[in-house]
Amino acid sequence: MPGFQGRPMRSALGGPRVLLRRLREVMAEPVSAQDRLDKIVVLIAANMVAEVCSVYVLRVDGTLELYATEGLNRSAVHLTVMRIDEGLVGTVAREAEPISLSNAQAHPAFSYRPETGEEIYHSFLGVPILRAGNTLGVLVVQNRAHRSYTEEEIEALQTTAMVLAEIIASGELTALALPGAEPAARRPLHLTGSALSEGIGLGHVVLHEPRIEVTKVIADDVPAELDRVDHAVQTLRASIDIMLEDEGVARVGEHREILEAYRMFAHDRGWINRMREAVMTGLTAEGAVERVQSDTRARMLRMTDPYLRERMHDLDDLANRLLRQLTGRAGGPEKMALPDNAIIVARNMSPAALLDYDRTRIRGLVLEEGAATSHLTIVARALNIAAVGHIENIVGLVDAGDPIIVDGVSGEVHVRPPTDVEGVYVEKVRFRAKRLEQYAALRDVPTVTKDGVAIDLHLNAGLLVDLPHIDETGASGIGLFRTELQFMIASAFPRTNEQLKLYRAVLDAADGRPVVFRTLDIGGDKVLPYMRAIEEENPALGWRAIRLGLDRPGLLRSQVRALLRAANGRELRLIFPMVAAVEEFDKARHIVERELTHLRRHGHGLPERVLVGVMLEVPSLLFQLDALFERIDFASVGSNDLVQFLFAADRGNPRVADRFDPLSPPALNALKTIADAAERHGKQVTLCGELASRPLEALALAAIGYRKLSLSPASYGPVKAMFLDLDLGAVSALVKPLLNGEAYIPSLRPHLKAFAETTGLPL
């Protein structure tokens, strides 16, 4: 290989492997951080046959500081500071890509710093110091001669940068920094996403999928490490093939698509060659996987195409599988004991996975994905866990054990918070605890507005963990029991007996208060892990809920039977989800009647009475309300779906979910039409979507005629406190002309907010 001025680099100076071994020795020496860096730059310069080697560290203020140099003026160390948009070093940091130039001064980005004395050096090779795709600094070598650095040299310098990344990430350089100019690697981060579940959690990061810690990155025996890479890749390919052949994997659908993508990547020569090349520079197989993945992440994090960004997650998964293979932990991430005050950080997770953790130790949840009405969110709320979603790349930005604060009220997350921020949050937690005590004190106060209107507040529930909330809040009952949650967290279809046990427990806990059970609402975003997924163009509009129930009546029948038996001697209230036409209700009711007859014939105990209703959540029902109310015993409005369908805006898609305001006249008029029809027919109607759980929205619902709301347990106190202070007559008078008005108004929200402010309503 032609090296500097024709000398073969590797044979002359031992090449990158010898360098890595020497670096390992320096890493183990008991010297100061500065001495260690100084020794490292000397070693690198000698090994690369370069006159200059410098380390620049990215600081919390976003600038790059020269931390060590061999070859430039030593007096410039800790004095030379450049902006990230400045010079070649800044470009390397920003782009997270190497830059190699034989005539650096001719490059438009070149910026001359007289204090360094670098004007005599012509060639420049800079590589980013990366960790999990994030830039921590820049490593540079320079030569006087117009030298073209070879691919191997660039590769070797990148590998060396990995060792520096470990030093920077360890925090040992912080002692060398001035206050406010510490290395950015461990800097506090203030991130904003969307609030998913109310509450504030202070604690320490637990990665839901822990990174495999690579402890040995420097190879002792390179050919053996190459064999290990090849072997691990072979095993990975075989395991993907087995997964694809697995009968349990749907033939179509997302799961299969992901596996197909994995197979494609696992056979990608480029990916495998990059790992082999990294091993050739002296890394272990694990070190090589980590380095290649860090480079890939760095590139992909800078892409804006959401499809390509998604592929980054596939490659992360694949790299993790390889690492597990190499470290002998192929069985998947093992479960570890949670520390106290755990904040779980994940890209996303299933509701079942959240329930698997020791609830008493979890203080919060932070997700890269997540949606306000997703089932994971619903479970987090049921468990009273503060949760924030849409925090981009959070998994790559934190380390296990980092201090972290989750603010599920504002949607903010503070990683490694400074002490003053932590102090503010400790105070907030104290304040919230006091407020919760105040809400608890309202437990036995009837929910009646200041002008004497009674509002009936119920709870939304779906799991056993929800049940204690009935007594804690003093709610009137359960306004919506989402039976599918039990199915979603199970690993196989719950047997009729298991269903029976749960429904009985719910009725026992309600202790005579009404409970509205909704039959299985699966399909759409509600996926059962053990049920074959059907590929549909628009799953939310597809074969789901009652549609599936009527086409596969076996499932619905067995559930209805479990419900009827559980209610033996008590009242049973049942609703069907996603009814879009009156005859669907007729058919579903017929199934209930057949099951009643069946149980009677076989001498089973029967409910004292059975009331049957529908979820009003498909807009078509708005135009069949009279026919519908003539048939049903009661109705429940599912505003989450109704609003999604009304505005054609996917409730699970953060780009559009909050685009249209449910307090706008079209939404409120739709909801009012339903409340009016219920009143005309003398039938009860409850609103059980998330709208009822927000005080301002609950205020609007009462103003248009709703007297029964069903909400999440955490919202019970705030919504009740609002009603106790409300003059309902006054707000109804305000709302009426705004809804009927001639003048166009986009939303009633500002009007209602102003009303709340002037009347001192607690929101």
Q: Cite the active site residues.
A: 375, 688
Residue 689 near which of Mg ion, ligand PEP, none (CB within 5-8 Å, type-dependent): ligand PEP
Q: Shortest gap between Cβ of 363 and ligand PEP (angstroms)?
A: 26
One-letter amino acid for residue 312 of the chain: M
Residue 128 makes contact with Mg ion by CB under 5 A: no
Given the complex with Mg ion, which of 316 and 641 has the nearer CB atom? Answer: 641
Residue 408 makes contact with Mg ion by CB under 5 A: no
Residue 482 near which of Mg ion, ligand PEP, none (CB within 5-8 Å, type-dependent): ligand PEP
Kindly tell me which residue out of 638, 652, 695, 713 binds Mg ion, with binding defined by CB under 5 A.
638
Which residues in this chain contact ligand PEP in the complex, by CB under 6 A? 373, 480, 482, 521, 617, 638-641, 688-689
Task: Show Cβ contacts of residue 450 under 8 Å, excluding neighbours closer than 6 positions.
Answer: 724, 725, 726, 727, 728
Q: Shortest gap between Cβ of 577 and Mg ion (angstroms)?
A: 6
Residue 134 near which of ligand PEP, Mg ion, none (CB within 5-8 Å, type-dependent): none
Q: Shortest gap between Cβ of 578 and Mg ion (angstroms)?
A: 7
Residue 397 near which of ligand PEP, Mg ion, none (CB within 5-8 Å, type-dependent): none
Given the complex with ligand PEP, which of 396 and 689 has the nearer CB atom? Answer: 689
Residue 417 makes contact with Mg ion by CB under 5 A: no
Task: Show Cβ contacts of residue 403 under 8 Å, excluding neighbours closer than 6 positions.
Answer: 202, 203, 204, 205, 415, 416, 417, 422
Given the complex with Mg ion, which of 199 and 638 has the nearer CB atom? Answer: 638
Nearest to 466 by CA among 492, 489, 449: 489
Residue 54 near which of ligand PEP, Mg ion, none (CB within 5-8 Å, type-dependent): none
Residue 483 near which of ligand PEP, Mg ion, none (CB within 5-8 Å, type-dependent): none
Site residue total, Mg ion (CB under 5 A): 3
* Helix spans in 526-664 (H): 545-551, 553-566, 582-601, 625-631, 639-646
Given the complex with ligand PEP, which of 50 and 711 has the nearer CB atom? Answer: 711
Give burial (CB, 10 Å; 0-12/13-18/19+) of 676: middle
The alpha carbon of residue 451 and the mean position of all alpha carbons in its chain are separated, in whole angstroms, by 43
- Site for Mg ion, residues 567 to 626, rule: CB under 5 A: 617
Given the complex with Mg ion, which of 118 and 641 has the nearer CB atom? Answer: 641
Question: H/E element holding 722?
Answer: helix 713-724
Q: Shortest gap between Cβ of 134 and ligand PEP (angstroms)?
A: 37
Length of the chain equals: 763
* Contact call for residues 686 and 710 (beta carbons, < 8 A): yes
Q: Shortest gap between Cβ of 36 and ligand PEP (angstroms)?
A: 56
Q: What angle do CA 597, 603, 607 make, to 5 degrees?
A: 65
Residue 277 near which of ligand PEP, Mg ion, none (CB within 5-8 Å, type-dependent): none
Strands (E), 24-104: 52-58, 63-70, 81-83, 99-101
Over the Cα atoms of the chain, what is R_g? 31
Given the complex with Mg ion, which of 567 and 575 has the nearer CB atom? Answer: 575
Given the complex with ligand PEP, which of 405 and 671 has the nearer CB atom? Answer: 671
Q: Shortest gap between Cβ of 526 and Mg ion (angstroms)?
A: 9
Q: Which residue is nearest to ligand PEP (CB)?
A: 638
Q: Shortest gap between Cβ of 692 and ligand PEP (angstroms)?
A: 9
Q: Which range touches Mg ion (CB under 5 A), out of 276-284, 315-323, 633-641, 702-710?
A: 633-641
Q: Which range touches Mg ion (CB under 5 A), out of 64-72, 336-344, 638-646, 724-732?
A: 638-646
Given the complex with Mg ion, which of 638 and 718 has the nearer CB atom? Answer: 638
Cα separation, 449 vs 726, in Å, equals 5
Cα separation, 529 vs 239, in Å, equals 20
Residue 641 makes contact with Mg ion by CB under 5 A: yes
Residue 35, classed as helix, strand or coil, is: helix
Residue 639 near which of Mg ion, ligand PEP, none (CB within 5-8 Å, type-dependent): ligand PEP
Q: Shortest gap between Cβ of 615 and Mg ion (angstroms)?
A: 6
Task: Show Cβ contacts of residue 297 under 8 Å, excluding neighbours closer than 6 positions.
Answer: 132, 133, 312, 315, 316, 396
Nearest to 20 by CA among 150, 151, 164: 164
Query: What's the CA dihedral at 224, 225, 226, 230 to 10 degrees?
Result: 100
* Contact call for residues 635 and 685 (beta carbons, < 8 A): yes
* Contact call for residues 345 and 363 (beta carbons, < 8 A): no
Cα separation, 104 vs 207, in Å, equals 42
Cα separation, 420 vs 426, in Å, equals 10
Given the complex with Mg ion, which of 390 and 526 has the nearer CB atom? Answer: 526
Both tokens assigned to 324: 């597990």
Q: Shortest gap between Cβ of 713 and ligand PEP (angstroms)?
A: 15
Half-sphere exposure of residue 688: CA atoms within 13 angstroms, side-chain side: 30
Interface ranges with Mg ion (CB under 5 A): 617, 638, 641
